Structure 1
């Protein structure tokens, strides 16, 4: 792996506080910054993957609607009324 230098300016007090925290964790500031960069990249990749998954699910739903693969509100109410009735029957049988 080729390494390169990353240079940026920070307030002296910020640098000092960060160095103290790094020292308390038995790490260098550079190690903590590399960790932060890796975590940021991983988080961004996870967010991008979730976004792609979510968009695919939304598109699937839109495609289902366009193709008529949907249930009416009445069909849903009827289905869950049956489910509720079955659960209540089981509860009464167990009591």
Structure 2
């Protein structure tokens, strides 16, 4: 893979402290910066993949709702009331 130079300005105190910390970890500043850049790119790619997944999931849910595949509110309320009651009973008997 071809290499490129990345040049930027940074406060000299920060540069010196960064170099000292890198050296203490037996690494160069350039090695750490490459690692940071790779990690940042990976994080951004994962975030974009998650956003794409979530958007697709929301779109499927909207399409399903538009098609009339809905659960009535009363049914949802009853189901979760039963779950809460079951959890309360389980917690009460474990005391």
Which band: TM-score by shorter chain? 0.7 to 0.9
Query: Structure 1 8/74 Cα, relative in aligned 2: closer, same or farther at 3 Å?
Result: same
Q: How far 1:57 sits from its partner (Å)?
A: 1.1
Q: Superposition RMSD on alpha carbons, in Å?
A: 2.2
Larger Rg computed on CA atoms: 1
* Corresponding position of 1:25: 25
In the comparison of the two structures, how many residue pairs are matched?
90
Unaligned runs of 5+ in 2: 91-95
Unaligned runs of 5+ in 1: none
TM-score (norm 2): 0.81
1:61 matched to 2:61: yes
**Stretches of 4+ aligned residues off by more than 4 angstroms:** 80-85
Structure 2 matches for 1:1-95, cutoff 5 A?
1-80=1-80
Tell me the distance in 2 between the aligned counterparts of 1:62 and 1:56: 10
Q: How far 1:83 sits from its partner (Å)?
A: 6.1
